[in-house]
Structure formats: structure tokens, C-alpha cells
Amino acid sequence: MPVFYGTEVASPLMLGTAQYPSPAVLAEAFRRSGAGVATVSVRREAGGERAGQDFWRLIAGLGVRVLPNTAGCHSVREAITTARMARELFETDWIKLEVIGNTDTLQPDPFGLVEAARLLVAEGFKVFPYMTEDLVLADRLLQAGCEVLMPWGAPIGTGLGLLNPYGLRSLRAHFPDVPMVIDAGLGLPSQAAAAMEMGFDAVLLNTAVAKAGEPAAMAEGFAKALEAGRLARGAGPMPPRDMAAPSTPVMGKAFL
């Protein structure tokens, strides 16, 4: 199972908690999938005191690790303020750091991301930065003190899957010992399996499950796909080749 900042989590599946049809459906998705981490948007869930308390009781009842996030933040100051709120509200120093730079693609601002990460690490936060599959950005975030990287598969909520397999493979190969989570853009369990086959440690998703016709069934499907991808990676998959190769030996076959 993946280990983040010295803590082992129960599953490589990390689920968001937004957009579900009901709290009961959310809880069932976590139960059937065995997801090990729940991500929570601080600003959305803490807006009303009563609603926030009810939501926190629901999340606490799931029995999983909570990863608050700074979703919707467009500046360093905004992200840091939200992270501080999250630490007080959820009593954790884990934070998924988002500093959005483009409102259409929700692509992170790399400059603001590195600055915010550096400042939060200095305050004792364990930062999970949402980033693009950029080697230079990854290096800067590691220098800032991050011990986990969270490259996107595709823009948030698109379901397009792993748009840049070459870039993701390069990132994974360049930093082989850094825990990495594919965060955002996955729409199908097969895409999650492909991420695990590449050697990533976990995936984080929300929309693909919450907006499915049967969210709990989709969550379970993602969990099973992740296990299949993990087993395939560990088994040593055959390399691709350009030429066909017969699976039945020719030697010993009768020639007429």
C-alpha cells in the first residue's frame, strides 16, 4: 500500500467528496471501494457552521485519512489561508495544495505553487501539490520540501484520462523514489489501471465516481482496476514489440 510522509494508507484509491447525489451514496462509495483517503474542499464544506459540522461527522464516520485541499484558490495568499483553516478544522497537517492559474483548464500556476509549497512546508505542513507533468516543476517542488507529487492526468473533471503518457512516464522514471499520485482527469477504471502499470502509487478522483449512474459501483470498479494495475506492474509486463511472435513454438511441428 502507498506510504505518504511516513504514513501507510489502506488503498491506492483516494476519493473526493463533492457532487454525490446524497451523503448515503458517498458513504456507500467509500465502503464498496475501500478508498484509503477522502479529499475535502475546505471552503465549500466550512461555509455554514451547521452544514460543516454535519459533513465532518459524515467524513469522520468513514474511518479514512482526510486530505483537505485548497480547491478554488488562485493566489498564494488565498491557498495559505485556506490551508491554515484546514489544519484547524480537520486537525491534520496534510494538505492538497492547489493554486489555480487558468480558469478554463484549471491548470495550476507553477510559480505560485512552488512559493506556496515552500511557505507551507516551513509552517510544518505535509504538502501534496497538484501539478502538471513537468520535470522542472517537480524538481522545484521537491526542493521546496514536498515529499509527494500529484501530477494531473488531464484537466479536472474532463474524464480524458492520461493525456501525456510520455510526460508521465518520464516524470515517474526521473524521480523513482518519490511517491506520486495521478490527480484529476480520470474517467474510467482502465485509465486508473494504466496509471498503476506506469508505476504510480495511487490515483485521486472525484467526478468519475460522483457523477456516475451508480457511484458506489464505479468506485468499486476503480478499486479493482487499481489492484489489477498494481499486480501487472509487479509481475513484470512483457515489453511491446513491432514484429509478431508466435506463442506456439515452431520446433517439433510437422512440415508437409
Would you please indicate which residues are annotated as catalytic (active-site) residues?
A: 96
Q: What are the residue ranges of helices labelled H in the chain? A: 23-33, 42-45, 49-62, 76-90, 110-122, 135-143, 165-174, 189-197, 207-210, 215-235
Residue 164 marked ligand-binding: no
The grid cell for 181 is 499520485
Residues counted in the chain: 256
If one counts every other C-beta atom within 10 angstroms of the C-beta of residue 210, the result is 20
CB 127 within 8 Å of CB 95: yes
207 is in an annotated binding site: yes
Which residue is associated with the grid cell 456516475? 212
How buried is 173 (Cβ within 10 angstroms: 0-12 exposed, 13-18 middle, 19+ buried)? exposed
- Does 69 belong to an annotated binding site? no
Q: Are the CB atoms for 123 and 154 separated by under 8 Å?
A: no
Task: Give the full edge-to-edge strand order of the sheet including 94-97.
Answer: 150-151, 126-131, 94-97, 65-69, 37-41, 13-16, 202-205, 181-183
Taking each helix axis from N to C end, the angle separating 23-33 and 215-235, rounded to the nearest 10 degrees, works out to 20
Q: Residues comprising the binding site for 1-deoxy-D-xylulose 5-phosphate?
A: 157, 184-185, 206-207
Q: Residues comprising the binding site?
A: 157, 184-185, 206-207
